[in-house]
Structure 1
Amino acid sequence: MPQDDFSKLTDPDHWLGWLGDDPATAVRKGIEESLRAQVADAVVEWVKILETPRFLTGGRRRSGDEQAMLVTRAALAAPFALSVRTTQHGRSILLGVFSWAAVNLSPPEVRKDRHWFDLGVGLDWAGERLQSRIYEIDGEYGNAQR
């Protein structure tokens, strides 16, 4: 049986600190949560990230330090193949793009995260939507800051 493969996520020299100490596990959990929101007994057997994800990072200058940036928002769109098993449908192989955006990453703000699970789409399609999605999160909470 195929194994998880997150090397395309973790190999690029891109800052993933906003995903915690283990970005691959965080993304896998996000994918599992997205599937279980659709089918409660979904079991993800394996996940492979197919291409280098699109990354988006935004920030502002740290006050008093012109050189330092404070990261305030980050997002990624990761194309995947996965195998999922459910009681009703058995095993299915799914292809698509998992996107994750997080805003308010600098305390004392309250961090907000959102996932998108788009089946049958390509990286270009999902990558084009990252910019609007990363700002959509603010709008959902009524305090859009651009």
Structure 2
Amino acid sequence: MTIRYDAGEVITAMVTPFNEKREIDYPAVEKLCKHLVNTGSDALLVAGTTGESPTLTHDEEYELLYAVKATVSGAAKVIMGAGSNSTRTAVDVTKKVESLGADAVLSVVPYYNKPNQQGMIEHFGAIARSTNLPIILYNIPSRT
């Protein structure tokens, strides 16, 4: 089954700016979001690989989602990285970001476990059953 999701024509994978204290730099996040929307981004991808997802805590990811949603205020869709090597964690994060207002989630094929085809079907099936959000599957062939 294929479900089409229209995120627009320009989807930008955001970096996550940090300050000198190695904390998320929220003023820089706001500035970046405004710049991306003003220069034509239809959707912003938050906490994907480009956005340092492996190094952020879940609380940081949720705070980042909140900040981006508040900044773009409907001017762009917000797609949230919610992937994990753990199906249970991916399901939990997906549920949480749905409750926080994400428009869609990006879910990576477990890159450490490297499941076979059936394992991927089970992993993504569990995520899909847990949410009403569109799920964008993210495959990194060199790692998965």
More strand by share: 1
User: What TM-score do you get using the length of structure 1 for normalisation?
Assistant: 0.24
More helix by share: 2
User: What TM-score do you get using the length of structure 2 for normalisation?
Assistant: 0.24
Larger radius of gyration: 1
